Amino acid sequence: MTLPMSDLRDLYQEMILDHNRRPHNRRNLEGADRRADGYNPLCGDRISVYLKIDGDRIREATFEGKGCAISTASASMMTDAVHGKTLDEARQLFTRFHGMVTDDSATESAPTNLGKLEVFSGVSQFPARVKCATLAWHTLKAAIEDAREVVSSEEGAGDPNA
């Protein structure tokens, strides 16, 4: 059965709202090997990402923070997606996800193959929402690279809790 596009969009929206209502992996991670903080000043979304890393593999990924439905759902699904992945695989996921929501023509020819994460593909039509959807991923990337600074799309946006 093929779903008409409008039904598919409703389904995607329902998944995002569901993850916002019951986010996966939203908790502090005791003994985390990596942590990074992200901030999206356009919307006010704040997120901290925690990782437990064993060798080059992500054993556990969690997040804390406050934000809109899209940023929370994205963080929920991001932490699910990178669980058990190697750091390289997580970086590749970041690139593919980023390419999907920004409609980057350079990655268009490559198969997206993002599974559930494809629910965010519609975000590319709403530029103001792209930063909400990518915040968790930028913060993940900072945690992987072990950045100590708050990730932000704006200069001088410090985290008062850091």
Residues near Zn ion (CB under 5 A) are 43, 45, 68, 71, 132
Chain-centre distance of CA 150, in angstroms? 15
- We find the least distance from the C-beta atom of residue 72 to Zn ion, in angstroms, to be 8
Beta bridge partners of 52: 60
- We find the least distance from the C-beta atom of residue 133 to Zn ion, in angstroms, to be 8
Residue 115 carries which DSSP code? Answer: G
Task: Say which amino acid occupies 126.
Answer: F
Residue in the block written with tokens 């994205």: 74
Q: Cα separation of 35 and 7, whole Å?
A: 38
Beta bridge partners of 26: 63
Nearer to Zn ion by C-beta: 12 or 89?
Answer: 12
Nearer to Zn ion by C-beta: 81 or 132?
Answer: 132
- We find the least distance from the C-beta atom of residue 43 to Zn ion, in angstroms, to be 3
Of 83, 69, 91, 92, give the one whose Cα is nearest residue 12: 69
Nearer to Zn ion by C-beta: 1 or 128?
Answer: 128
- We find the least distance from the C-beta atom of residue 19 to Zn ion, in angstroms, to be 14
Length, in residues, of the chain: 162
- We find the least distance from the C-beta atom of residue 71 to Zn ion, in angstroms, to be 4
Nearer to Zn ion by C-beta: 41 or 115?
Answer: 41
Q: Are 60 and 89 contacting, i.e. CB atoms less than 8 angstroms apart? A: no
Q: In this structure, how many other beta carbons lie within 10 angstroms of the beta carbon of residue 72?
A: 24
Nearer to Zn ion by C-beta: 15 or 43?
Answer: 43
